Structure 1
Amino acid sequence: MSTGDPNSQDSPFRDERTSRDEAPQFVLPLVARIERAAPPARTDALETAARAVLVMLSDARSVGDGEWAEAMRSWQDARIRKVVRRARGAEWRRAEALPGITVTGKSAEVRVFPPVPLDGWPKDLARLQVSGTDLDDPEPPADPDPAAPVLWLNPEIDMSAGKAMAQAGHGAQLAWWDLSDAARTAWRDAGFPLAVRTAAPAHWGALTTAGLPLVRDAGFTEVAPGSCTVVADHQALRG
C-alpha cells in the first residue's frame, strides 16, 4: 500500500525533481482501520483517505507556527510520499494513541499522522502491514454529485486498495494546492465533500487534457514510473 509521487504540471514543485530528490525525504503515514469481520467498502475507504489528507493539510497544527508545521514543510519540500498501512483491534487502538487525526466515512476510518522521516516511523506504525489488503464495493458506487469535486482514477491501471487510497490523497492534495484561498476555505467549511470514481476510457482522455491537476506516479510500487493515475476535477479549477 505504498505510494508513488505526483508531478502535476500545475504543482508548485513541477520541474524541481533534482532539488526535491536531494531534500531530506519524509512520508505522510495513513492507517486504515480494516477489521476482519467488517472491512470498509473500497470507494468509501478511498474517499475517506483523500479527505484525511485534506484535513491534515488544513489543520491549524500543520501551518504557520503549528506543532506539525515544520514536518509538513519538510515533507512538501521533497517528494510528497504517502504510505497507507492497515490495522485492526489492538493495532488500531495503539495507532489512535499517537498524535494524528481520525477521519470517518460511511464505514471507513482512516487516521492520518504528521509526516515522519522515511527511516523514522514510530514503532507502533512501522509494524503495521502495508501490502495485501483488498477491498471491494458491495454494489457499484452511485454517480458522483455533479456539484462536488471528483477524483477520477485511470481506468487502465489496476491498483491495490492501499495504493489507490494514496493516489486519491495525492489528487486531493494537488487540487488543494491549486485552489484559491477562498475556494480552499469554502471546501474546508463544507467538510471536504468529494467522490472517487473510475473514469470511463473516453472520459479519461478528455480529463487528462483539461488542464486539471494530474497525478503522475514515480513508480516506486505497483505501476510504471510516470503513469497517470488520478485527475482531480474541482469546479473552481475549471476556467
Structure 2
Amino acid sequence: MTRPPTRPLPPPDDEPDPWSLSLVARVERDAPGRRRPAHTDVLVAAARAVVLLLDDPRVTDPDGELHAAVQAWRDRRIRKICRRARGAAWERTAGLPHSEAASGDAVVRVFAPHPREEVPDLLRPLQVGGLDLDDPDGLAVPGPDDVLTVRLTPGVAMTTGKAAAQVGHAAQLAHERLPRTDAWRRGGFGVRVLTGPVVLPPADRVDVRDGGFTEVAPGTVTASAGFEGTV
C-alpha cells in the first residue's frame, strides 16, 4: 500500500485553510431498555471507523469519490472533531458518505474531511463539546493478539469526544506508518484501548502529540499505538 508522504507542516496559527475530519458518535437519551455507550467502546469504534474510511476504495483509488478530500486534509495539519447525535439527526447523517464501526453499545461514523468552516449541513447542528461518558465496572479489555493496542497517556484528562479524536489519530498513524497493516486488515482492523504507559520501543509504535487546540497543552503526548501481540 502506498503511504502518504511526510511533509513539513506550517505552525497551527499560520495555516490559512484548515480542514477537519468529522466523527459522530451515536448517543441516545437514557430510556428503559436503552443503554448509553461506554466511554471505551466509543473510542474503539472511533479508531476502527477512521481506519475503515482511510482504507476504503473511495479513498485509496485515485479516482475514488473521497480521494481528493482526504488528500487535501492530509496535506494540512491533521484535525479531527468528534460530534454526537441521536434519533432522527443520527439517521440523517447516513445520507453523507461515511464509514461506520461499532463496539459494544457504541456506534461511530466518520465522514469525508472538509474545510473547517464548511461543515456539511447535516453535521453542522450536531453538538461538538460535552461528550463525556463512563465505563462500567469490570469492562473487559481483549488481549493484544492480532489487534492494534492504543494506550492513552496516564494523567492526561480528556473528555470522551477529545479522546475519540486522539485514538482515531493514533489508529490513522498506525495504518499509515507501521508494518503488519495487511494482517491487521484481514482481521477487520481490531482495536483495543486502555490507559497505561507505553511498552513498545519508539520504532514499533506511533505517538500522538496534540496540537493544543482544545483540552490539553500543545505537544502533549495523548496516545500511543502499536501491535503489542508481537512483544
Higher helix residue share = 1
Aligned to 1:62: 59
1:233 deviation in Å?
1.8
Cα deviation per residue 1:67-124 (whole Å; 9 max; x = unaligned)? 1000010001111111010000111011122221222222111111111111111122
Q: Which has the higher contact order (CA 8 A, sep 6+)?
A: 1
Matches within 5 A, 1:156-195: 156-180=155-179, 183-195=180-192
TM-score (normalised: structure 1): 0.85
In 1, the alpha carbon distance for the partners of 2:177 and 2:56 equals 18
Change (3 A) 1:156 1:210: farther
Aligned to 1:8: none
1:124 counterpart SS class: coil
Q: 1:216 corresponds to which letter in structure 2?
A: R
Asked if the contact 1:212/1:237 (under 8 Å) is kept, the reply is no
Number of residue pairs matched by the alignment: 221
Aligned to 2:130: 132
Q: Percent identity?
A: 46
1:138 deviation in Å?
1.2
1:130 deviation in Å?
0.7
1:223 deviation in Å?
0.2
Aligned to 2:104: 106
Structure 2: state its 5+ residue gaps: none
Change (3 A) 1:129 1:56: same
Asked if the contact 1:51/1:103 (under 8 Å) is kept, the reply is yes
Asked if the contact 1:12/1:177 (under 8 Å) is kept, the reply is no
Structure 1: state its 5+ residue gaps: 1-10
Aligned to 1:226: 219
Aligned to 1:81: 79
Q: 2:45 corresponds to which letter in structure 1?
A: T
In 1, the alpha carbon distance for the partners of 2:52 and 2:203 equals 26
Q: 1:48 corresponds to which letter in structure 2?
A: A
In 1, the alpha carbon distance for the partners of 2:52 and 2:202 equals 28
In 1, the alpha carbon distance for the partners of 2:209 and 2:134 equals 25
1:22 deviation in Å?
4.0
TM-score (normalised: structure 2): 0.88
1:101 counterpart SS class: strand
Q: 2:134 corresponds to which letter in structure 1?
A: D
